[in-house]
Amino acid sequence: MPSFYQIWGDADVFRPNRFLDSSGKVTKPEEFIPFSTGRRVCLGESLAKMELFLFMTTLMQRFEFKAVDPDNLPTLKGVFGITHAPTKYDVRAVPRC
């Protein structure tokens, strides 16, 4: 899994233009290959993306996510091991009314 912090430097900044070419069309950067490529591409990519979208939007609709300790926010550098994993971070899910 790539370290987006090393690729873009400011991965914590919301900049959707990273995925747009000069004409405004959506592109896939070479560094971003979550489902592989070529002959061994994941057959369930479209299903996985659809399910992930539905799952995440449902969570965002029903909960508000807050930091347990707002003064101790994590970095996006992560921890390297067999995979690249995010650092441990506690959040609180507060149900929306």
Q: Which residues participate in the annotated binding site for heme?
A: 42
Which residues define the annotated binding site?
42
Nearest to 11 by CA among 29, 24, 25, 27: 29
Q: How many CA atoms lie within 13 A of 89 on its CB side?
A: 18
- Closest C-alpha to 64, from 21, 94, 34: 94
